[in-house]
Amino acid sequence: MNFEEIKTRIIEFWESKSKTQKIRFISGTIIVLLSVFLLFYFITKPQYAVLYSNLDTKDAGEIVKRLDAMKVKYRLIDSGKTIEVESKDVYKIRLSLAQEGLPSGGEIGFNDIFGKMNLGMTEWEKQVRYNQALQGELTRTIKELNQVEEARVHLVIPQKTLFIDPSGQKEASAAVFLKLKPGEKLEEEEVKGIINLISHSVEGLKPENVTIVDEYGRVLSNISLSEDNSRQIVDSQFAVQYKFQNDLQSKVQSLLEQIFGPGNVAVRVNAQLNFDKKVVENKLFTSPNPESGEGILRSVQEIKEYFSGNSSSPVGVPGTTSQIPGYQGQQNQGGSSSYQKTDTVKNYELNESIENITIAPGAVKKLTVSVVINRNLTDEEKNKIASLVGSAIGFDSNRDIITVEGMTFERSLTESLAKQMEEDKKSQARQRLYILVISAIALILVFVIARRLLTARKRAMEEKLAQQLILQQAATSSKEKEDLNILEEKNRTRDIEMLVRNRPEDVAKIIRSWLNEE
């Protein structure tokens, strides 16, 4: 089959199609070619991944220069702050750049100043470079925090001098600027950690001389830096009291809602707890002999005094008469006397018991419970509800107060919110229904179009096969005719040969008659 025959068959095939079939054929061919092109494009298209993001201008320039030297394909997005390379080379390029200290974060570190010191540098220049390197190292460290996106550290370190400064030696100080990631915030402990990190990294820097601000200008370092944990203690006490109140409130709420139904009871509990810690020591003395009430005799001390003899007793008139000189009063008279004294001291042992009682903090000082029921209540019902609530919370009449009232609840806001929520649910359901309907219609359209395309393709293939079959049948019929003519010719030749063999005289007569006619 030569080229002309192929061309002829193609022209015949094309001319045998109707206008609609030609349009479908051209459209299908274009769609197939476009699909193959897009598939080839997306398969061979390089997949880019982020190499580094949020770069400053200096780091971005250094990395781009290095990528150009490495002949690596890259692209810049986000105004040059983000660099993307092919995903298969991301980690390899990162390791290669890390060996060269890129990205440096825009800060100068100690590695950047080593080997760059000149002999002609003054002490002041060395100190400036040291301060820059220290600021850079602190900035890099602070950036490692998960909440921090960008950071800047400024240090003011007074220069040491041998001369006496009349104004007094100045103290070192530091200022830190933080840009936090969206939705992130630093807790008080984390701010303390940054302050301690900086103060312990700079010689002579006190924690109170460190100032930290965020991107909104808010000072984050206005916190207590002392080790006093009184605030934590107060916070924990409030947390314990709040939990205790909520527990009692939930108990009373669940109890009454089982009687009056959900949403018909409002309960509030206010508890005052005593967080004072007390240690009480009691000493008790008891007699070992309960019957006599006496203790065990431990020791006896007995002292006896005895005196006997003669002595003179004073006589005379009492008063001033006997004191006047030359007055003759009554004279003293002699006699005998005796004296006896006995002192006895007995020491007894008693039983002694010492009791130490530690009263733990958290005791209830007072409870106030308010209960409101969504209906009108009689006094008897109020008393019953108060009794139930008191039994549930451990009511003490000398300490606690329970108030029960019945009134109608205002539910307009709740009903409007419930109605709004119901409308939102219906709206969401309608949206989901619309999406399902649209998706179903899209699937049906795709199915119909695909089916029509398949039907058209099948019909075209059938027509092509029918045309080929017709051509084959035509070729077969022409060949059969030729074969039939050849067969008839062979049969006639065979009949003539048989006639010549069987009847030679008749054949000769016929030939002579043909010759005579000519």
Q: What is the pLDDT of residues 141-187, one digit of tens each?
A: 888 888 888 888 998 888 776 666 555 567 889 999 998 888 888 88
Lowest mean pLDDT among 90-94, 176-180, 317-321, 408-412: 317-321
Average pLDDT of the segment spanning 10-30: 76
Please report, rounded to a whole number, the percentage of residues in the chain having pLDDT higher than 70: 78
pLDDT over 70 at 318, yes or no: no
Is residue 240 a part of any domain in this protein?
yes
Residue 391 and residue 245 share a domain? yes
Full residue range of the structural domain in which residue 164 is found: 111-226
Q: What is the pLDDT of residue 96?
A: 80
Strands 363-373 and 401-406: parallel
Is residue 381 a part of any domain in this protein?
yes
Q: Which CATH number does the domain housing residue 203 bear?
A: 3.30.300.30
Q: What is the pLDDT of residue 308?
A: 72
Is residue 164 a part of any domain in this protein?
yes
Is residue 336 a part of any domain in this protein?
no
C-alpha span between 355 and 359 (Å, rounded): 13
Q: Which CATH number does the domain housing residue 257 bear?
A: 3.30.300
Average pLDDT of the segment spanning 477-485: 65
Q: What is the pLDDT of residue 107?
A: 57
Where residue 93 falls among pLDDT bands split at 50, 70, 90?
confident
Are the C-beta atoms of 371 and 403 separated by less than 8 Å? yes
C-alpha span between 265 and 294 (Å, rounded): 66
Is residue 259 a part of any domain in this protein?
yes
Average pLDDT of the segment spanning 328-336: 53
Lowest mean pLDDT among 24-28, 328-332, 336-340, 460-464: 328-332
Average pLDDT of the segment spanning 123-130: 78
State the DSSP string of 198-210: HHTTSTTEEEEEE
Are the C-beta atoms of 89 and 49 separated by less than 8 Å? no
Average pLDDT of the segment spanning 18-40: 78
pLDDT over 60 at 322, yes or no: no
Lowest mean pLDDT among 41-55, 72-86, 122-136, 184-198: 41-55
State the DSSP string of 303-370: EEEEEEEEEEE--S-SSSGGGSTT---PPPEEEEEEEEEEEEEEEEE-EEEEEEEEE-S-EEEEEEEE
Q: What is the pLDDT of residue 371?
A: 92
Q: Which CATH number does the domain housing residue 71 bear?
A: 3.30.70.1530
Which H or E element spans position 385?
A: helix 379-393
- What is the number of domains present in the chain? 4
Model pTM above 0.85? no
Residues sharing a CB contact under 8 Å with residue 395, sequence separation 6 or more, in sequence order: 367, 389, 402
Residue 149 and residue 169 share a domain? yes
Domain final position from 373, 394, 409:
409
Residue 135 and residue 183 share a domain? yes
Is residue 92 a part of any domain in this protein?
yes
Tens digit of pLDDT for each residue in 229-288? 666 777 788 888 889 999 999 999 999 999 888 888 999 999 888 877 778 777 776 766
Highest mean pLDDT among 438-442, 472-476, 498-502: 438-442
Lowest mean pLDDT among 131-140, 204-213, 364-373: 131-140
Where residue 212 falls among pLDDT bands split at 50, 70, 90?
very high
pLDDT over 70 at 95, yes or no: yes
Residue 368 and residue 260 share a domain? yes
Tens digit of pLDDT for each residue in 347-370? 766 667 777 777 777 788 899 999
Residue 150 and residue 138 share a domain? yes
Residue 63 and residue 38 share a domain? no
Q: What is the pLDDT of residue 230?
A: 65
Rounded (10°) CA dihedral 420, 421, 422, 425: 120
Selected residue with higher pLDDT from 442 and 383 = 383
Intra-chain end-to-end CA distance of the chain, in Å: 48
C-alpha span between 498 and 492 (Å, rounded): 10
pLDDT over 60 at 224, yes or no: yes
Where residue 481 falls among pLDDT bands split at 50, 70, 90?
low
Q: What is the pLDDT of residue 403?
A: 92
Residue 94 and residue 7 share a domain? no
Q: What is the pLDDT of residue 370?
A: 93
Mean pLDDT, rounded, of the chain: 77
Q: What is the pLDDT of residue 129?
A: 80
Residue 374 and residue 262 share a domain? yes
Q: What is the pLDDT of residue 175?
A: 92
pLDDT over 90 at 37, yes or no: no
Residue 139 and residue 249 share a domain? no
Residue 62 and residue 9 share a domain? no
- DSSP state, 294? -
Tens digit of pLDDT for each residue in 398-438? 889 999 998 888 777 677 777 878 887 888 888 888 888 88
C-alpha span between 287 and 47 (Å, rounded): 97
- What are residue 342's DSSP bridge partners? 304
Q: What is the pLDDT of residue 161?
A: 66
State the helix-helix crossing angle for 412-502 and 504-517, rounded to 10 degrees.
90
Domain final position from 173, 200, 226:
226
Domain final position from 391, 409, 427:
409
Residue 253 and residue 165 share a domain? no
Are the C-beta atoms of 245 and 362 separated by less than 8 Å? no
Q: What is the pLDDT of residue 402?
A: 92
Please report, rounded to a whole number, the percentage of residues in the chain having pLDDT higher than 90: 8
Residue 7 and residue 64 share a domain? no
Selected residue with higher pLDDT from 214 and 117 = 214
pLDDT over 60 at 115, yes or no: no
Is residue 20 a part of any domain in this protein?
yes
Average pLDDT of the segment spanning 385-397: 90
Where residue 6 falls among pLDDT bands split at 50, 70, 90?
confident
Q: What is the pLDDT of residue 316?
A: 57
**Other residues' Cβ atoms within 10 Å of the Cβ of residue 62:** 17
Q: What is the pLDDT of residue 425?
A: 84
